[in-house]
Structure 1
Amino acid sequence: MNKLVIPRDSKKEFLGRWNFCVGTGRLGLALQKEYIDTLAFVKKNIDFKYIRGHGLLCDDVGIYREDMVDGKVVPFYNFTYIDRIFDSYLELGIKPFVELGFMPKKLASGAQTVFYWEGNVTPPKDYEKWSDLIKAVVKHFISRYGEEEVLTWPFEIWNEPNLPGFWEHADEKEYFKLYKVTAEAVKSINENLKVGGPAICGGADHWIKDFLKFCDTENAPLDFVSRHAYTSTVGEKTPHFTYQEIMPQEHMFDELKSVRKMIDETKFKRLPFHITEYNTSYHPLNPVHDTAFNAAYICRILSEAGDYVNSFSYWTFSDVFEECDVPRAEFHGGFGLVALHNIPKPTFYAFSFFNELGKELLYKDEHIIVTKKEDKSIVFVAWNEWFGKASDEEKEYEIAIPFKDGKVFVERYTVNEEYANPWGTWREMGRPRFPSKEQIELLRKVAVPHITTNNSVAENGTVNIKFVLKKNEVSLFKLKVVEDESDTYIGLDDTKITSYK
């Protein structure tokens, strides 16, 4: 039994860093109806402020083109698709966290690409034309959306250049050159625009040190530092899946604290530090993303990572995503909070539960966070990620919570292996790759939390709440004062109802 006594007031704030940004598949996917419908659903229920994805400058978005005029190659900048994409984002109330990449093929120095959709990852063959492209893009954004709006957009330069798959030869020196040219191009349009990098993945933090030293000695613009964070091991790959062990959350927290310390030991002390991608597995074909375990595991990161970084962006909001080809099944291990056909996964509800929390932080530990809202109601989330140890399969709690004396209405919303687990239902169906409309409708029906309600009583300024968390469970609790109007009903007598005597 875990017994907790929650403080009456804490004077602490639960920082909204957990929903600052969310990741997306390449930007060109935003031209699909299902993508926009899903984003609208996610925004309504979770209220992410920014969205970040690859492919702004890739050929499917079509910004960089070339014409032949009088025997000379003349660049042409085409904003038809990116306007449609960013218009859609802003209409939904979500801003771009702009990633500048990858390389337009006609501007590329080589043929190396990444992903099914062939994003070119080579340096520009002409840095002057690259700089002109960046200037034209930023100018257009300001012209279309206004300077005041675009000044709120961060501009991140490239993605994971420490990996040879994302940047030819993982050439650090060449990336630093690209970074400086790009950052200076952005700043030449408006010096108050925010630029940053190096957007590396974990395991290569010497890049952070080298990058900060470069920006210092070369006087390269730098307004924020970015990095990615995943907690999976290398694992085993099969033709259709990747299986990896997931390390405890402390692995991520230790990395975040280490990089924060690294930044603060330089002239860039206290510079914003953004995690522009994170998840359990870094592979888009790992079934763990579809599970209740993933939801319970992520809760501690939502609760705690904001203590170490300025923002952390879950990768990604939707399974409308094509890094490893077009998805081959309804559930295929995709990164998304929401599966294909707009079916919420358990992790979606972890986020939506956190969206219900108040701003005043009363208490948190490794498995619970308790908050107070402006209307004095209490909202808390509790979770139990299960790594397989028998003694941890269930957790029992008794919590003393400060509350106004009288009746208390308690709502509980639960996600676990049994409830709001469409992946489990899909397995029971026989894992249909391309489910029928009737099967899709059933998966949507089961993809909802289990709701229970009850009355409790607060005495001497405290209400006691007892509950049990099953394995891989996340529960949201809402405690509100009961405004009882029973005595306004003339002749009310429930004992006269058959079976209630």
Structure 2
Amino acid sequence: MTYVKIERGKIFDVFPDNWKFCVGSGRIGLALQKEYMEALEYVKKHIDFKYLRAHGLLHDDVGIYREDNVGDMKQPFYNFTYIDRIYDSFLELGIRPFVEIGFMPSKLASGTQTVFYWRGNVTPPSDYGKWEKLIKAVVKHFIDRYGEKEVENWPFEIWNEPNLNVFWKDADQNEYFKLYEVTAKAIKDVNENIKVGGPAICGGADHWIDDFLNFCYKNNVPVDFVTRHAYTAKPPTYTPHFVYHDLHPIDYMLNEFKMVREQIKNSPFPNLPIHITEYNSSYHPLCPVHDTPFNAAYLARILSEGGYYVDSFSYWTFSDVFEEADVPRSLFHGGFGLVAFNNIPKPVFHMFTFFNAMGRDILYRDDHILVTKRADGSVAIVAWNEVISKEQEIEREYKLEIPIDFEDIFVKQKLINEEHANPWRVWIEMGRPRYPSKEQIKTLKEIAKPHVSTCRMRAREGYVTLNIKLGKNAVVLYELNKVNDETHTYIGLDDSKIPGY
């Protein structure tokens, strides 16, 4: 058991809220689907992400770039029908786009190499002049429709993981730098206040960040922020329907955050913001770990600490409406989403909502607990216990002595673990139905809720003692609020007269 007595009047730190600055999405064309927008509205309501990042802005299914045959010439035509519908919907929900420029429209591509089931083209433009005009037209249209002040709040990230040859032909660094330069300058030509950045690399290629920033510095190329991705998965084992990974300890991801911060400090642009525009445990959308309580407990420390090392970190993704590895073949299939199909929240969704309940002032924090105080004096605590190996202790215990501003306390506890808020387990008990009936979906939604319990406690000498016991892969939220007791206002109150009381 860990015993902690928190010092009265001492604020350990301020808890940053940049863990909910942005969230990831399946390709942006999926926003035309009803379930995608329903899931986004649900997640926005309960977690309140500010931005959304998605692949495929210039992919053919959104249809922005087209060409008409005019005599012997091919004349570009820019079609904003779908992107207007999509961005209008985002903004109506109060969520802004974190714009990712990519992939290449097929009519403008220099080759036929594609990635994913939906065939995003990953080759450079065949004509950089046409590409430049396209970028300017897109940015100008956004400004015309939404106004300069609005669009100046949208970060523009150039491409996705160009260090991998599956995402950028031959992983050609020089060609990416050329694409970045032309794109960034085109955006700035339209409006110099719009923020541009990259290189959006995945882990294991951090020399790209050094090379990228040196290139921008030497060639006077605009760069306003750096982007990188972070996953903790070890090499995969593939099966026809699933992908399995062992995972590094969660320190691995935090150390990556710290390392990138040091890189930036030692670069020609030492004060650039860092946005982790994708993170999760596994990087594959068919990895069952994403559906489990373990993923919630495992990633909780990232939400607790990550905001001290980077300016934002974007969970990949908010919903299982996602098609990189083909149309998903079952309800639970290892998708990245905070919510599964039919808006069934996964354990990791609730973990995010727990952090959304935290106060601003940190009273105590370690690797498995965060204790905060809210502006009204109430206390909010989140604690977690990821069990990553069979050799680990199954349980984790805390005895906390917490300073509190009131004597009479109402305590509310919300718990997720292997038994509670774990629809994946119940789905297995159902026999893993690929396409569950409406009644089965109803049952899964009923159990996909944290276990809630309450009690009443009294503080002594300005402290309340809370004993916390966490089982395997548990995440718990405690909220300690002042009781305003009005019992004395009820004339004739006598609960002993109630039969069965």
Equivalent position amino acid for 1:345 in 2: K
Equivalent position amino acid for 1:435 in 2: P
Give the distance between the partners of 1:94 and 1:412, measured in 2 at CA.
30
Q: Which residue of 1 aligns with 2:485?
A: 484
Q: Which residue of 2 aligns with 1:461?
A: 462
Give the distance between the partners of 1:45 and 1:319, measured in 2 at CA.
17
Equivalent position amino acid for 1:153 in 2: W
Using the TM superposition, give the Cα deviation of residue 240 of structure 1 relative to its aligned residue in structure 2, in angstroms.
Answer: 0.5
1:387 aligns with 2:396: no
Q: Which residue of 1 aligns with 2:218?
A: 217
**1:404 touches 1:458 (CA, 8 Å); kept in 2?**
no
Give the distance between the partners of 1:103 and 1:481, measured in 2 at CA.
57
Secondary structure in 1 matching 2:434: coil
Give the distance between the partners of 2:91 and 2:484, measured in 1 at CA.
40
Using the TM superposition, give the Cα deviation of residue 380 of structure 1 relative to its aligned residue in structure 2, in angstroms.
Answer: 1.0
| 1:327-346 equivalent positions in 2, closer than 5 A | 327-346=328-347
Using the TM superposition, give the Cα deviation of residue 90 of structure 1 relative to its aligned residue in structure 2, in angstroms.
Answer: 0.3
Using the TM superposition, give the Cα deviation of residue 257 of structure 1 relative to its aligned residue in structure 2, in angstroms.
Answer: 1.2
Q: Which residue of 2 aligns with 1:144?
A: 145
- Once the two structures are superposed, what CA deviation does each residue of 1:40-65 show, in whole Å capped at 9, x if it has no partner? 00000000000000000000000000
Give the distance between the partners of 1:406 and 1:205, measured in 2 at CA.
52
Secondary structure in 1 matching 2:260: helix
Secondary structure in 2 matching 1:97: strand
- Once the two structures are superposed, what CA deviation does each residue of 1:56-104 show, in whole Å capped at 9, x if it has no partner? 0000000000011232111000000000000000000000000000000
Give the distance between the partners of 1:11 and 1:242, measured in 2 at CA.
41
Q: Which residue of 1 aligns with 2:286?
A: 285
1:296 aligns with 2:297: yes
Q: Which residue of 2 aligns with 1:58?
A: 59
Using the TM superposition, give the Cα deviation of residue 361 of structure 1 relative to its aligned residue in structure 2, in angstroms.
Answer: 1.6
Q: Which residue of 2 aligns with 1:49?
A: 50
Give the distance between the partners of 2:175 and 2:424, measured in 1 at CA.
44
Q: Which residue of 1 aligns with 2:14?
A: 13
Equivalent position amino acid for 1:29 in 2: L
Identity of aligned residues (%): 63
Name which of structure 1's ranges 7-16 and 153-162 shifts more when overlaid on structure 2. Answer: 7-16
| 1:58-457 equivalent positions in 2, closer than 5 A | 58-389=59-390, 392-457=393-458
Give the distance between the partners of 2:73 and 2:239, measured in 1 at CA.
49
Give the distance between the partners of 1:390 and 1:265, measured in 2 at CA.
40
Give the distance between the partners of 1:307 and 1:5, measured in 2 at CA.
24
Give the distance between the partners of 1:316 and 1:160, measured in 2 at CA.
16
Give the distance between the partners of 1:391 and 1:243, measured in 2 at CA.
21
- Once the two structures are superposed, what CA deviation does each residue of 1:211-230 show, in whole Å capped at 9, x if it has no partner? 11111111111000000000
- Once the two structures are superposed, what CA deviation does each residue of 1:289-318 show, in whole Å capped at 9, x if it has no partner? 000000001110011111110000000000
Using the TM superposition, give the Cα deviation of residue 395 of structure 1 relative to its aligned residue in structure 2, in angstroms.
Answer: 1.1
Give the distance between the partners of 1:467 and 1:377, measured in 2 at CA.
18
**1:405 touches 1:460 (CA, 8 Å); kept in 2?**
no
Q: Which residue of 2 aligns with 1:3?
A: 3
Distance change (3 Å), C-alpha of 1:354 and 1:222: same
Give the distance between the partners of 2:129 and 2:360, measured in 1 at CA.
48
Equivalent position amino acid for 2:300 in 1: C
Secondary structure in 2 matching 1:306: helix
**2:214 touches 2:268 (CA, 8 Å); kept in 1?**
no
**2:12 touches 2:364 (CA, 8 Å); kept in 1?**
no
Give the distance between the partners of 1:291 and 1:11, measured in 2 at CA.
32
Alignment length, in residue pairs? 500
Give the distance between the partners of 2:390 and 2:324, measured in 1 at CA.
35
Secondary structure in 2 matching 1:60: coil
Give the distance between the partners of 1:390 and 1:459, measured in 2 at CA.
39
**1:411 touches 1:451 (CA, 8 Å); kept in 2?**
yes
Using the TM superposition, give the Cα deviation of residue 158 of structure 1 relative to its aligned residue in structure 2, in angstroms.
Answer: 0.1
Give the distance between the partners of 2:316 and 2:392, measured in 1 at CA.
32
Secondary structure in 1 matching 2:362: strand
**1:7 touches 1:363 (CA, 8 Å); kept in 2?**
no
Secondary structure in 2 matching 1:322: coil
Using the TM superposition, give the Cα deviation of residue 11 of structure 1 relative to its aligned residue in structure 2, in angstroms.
Answer: 6.4
Equivalent position amino acid for 1:381 in 2: V
Hey, which bits of structure 1, 4+ residues long, moved more than 4 A? none
Name which of structure 1's ranges 254-263 and 288-297 shifts more when overlaid on structure 2. Answer: 254-263
Using the TM superposition, give the Cα deviation of residue 495 of structure 1 relative to its aligned residue in structure 2, in angstroms.
Answer: 2.3
Using the TM superposition, give the Cα deviation of residue 449 of structure 1 relative to its aligned residue in structure 2, in angstroms.
Answer: 0.5
Give the distance between the partners of 1:28 and 1:422, measured in 2 at CA.
28
**1:197 touches 1:224 (CA, 8 Å); kept in 2?**
yes
**1:201 touches 1:229 (CA, 8 Å); kept in 2?**
yes
**1:30 touches 1:85 (CA, 8 Å); kept in 2?**
yes
Using the TM superposition, give the Cα deviation of residue 390 of structure 1 relative to its aligned residue in structure 2, in angstroms.
Answer: 5.1
Give the distance between the partners of 2:345 and 2:259, measured in 1 at CA.
34
**1:411 touches 1:452 (CA, 8 Å); kept in 2?**
yes
Equivalent position amino acid for 1:126 in 2: D
Using the TM superposition, give the Cα deviation of residue 392 of structure 1 relative to its aligned residue in structure 2, in angstroms.
Answer: 2.1
Give the distance between the partners of 2:488 and 2:113, measured in 1 at CA.
75
- Once the two structures are superposed, what CA deviation does each residue of 1:324-368 show, in whole Å capped at 9, x if it has no partner? 000000000000000011100000001011111111122211101
Name which of structure 1's ranges 460-469 and 73-82 shifts more when overlaid on structure 2. Answer: 460-469
Secondary structure in 1 matching 2:69: strand
**2:23 touches 2:317 (CA, 8 Å); kept in 1?**
yes
1:470 aligns with 2:471: yes
Using the TM superposition, give the Cα deviation of residue 391 of structure 1 relative to its aligned residue in structure 2, in angstroms.
Answer: 5.1
**2:225 touches 2:275 (CA, 8 Å); kept in 1?**
yes
**1:183 touches 1:195 (CA, 8 Å); kept in 2?**
yes
Equivalent position amino acid for 1:259 in 2: V
Give the distance between the partners of 1:105 and 1:156, measured in 2 at CA.
20
**2:420 touches 2:447 (CA, 8 Å); kept in 1?**
yes
Equivalent position amino acid for 1:3 in 2: Y
Secondary structure in 1 matching 2:333: coil
**1:100 touches 1:158 (CA, 8 Å); kept in 2?**
yes
**Structure 1 residue ranges without an equivalent (≥5):** none
Using the TM superposition, give the Cα deviation of residue 18 of structure 1 relative to its aligned residue in structure 2, in angstroms.
Answer: 0.3
**2:225 touches 2:272 (CA, 8 Å); kept in 1?**
yes
**1:401 touches 1:463 (CA, 8 Å); kept in 2?**
yes
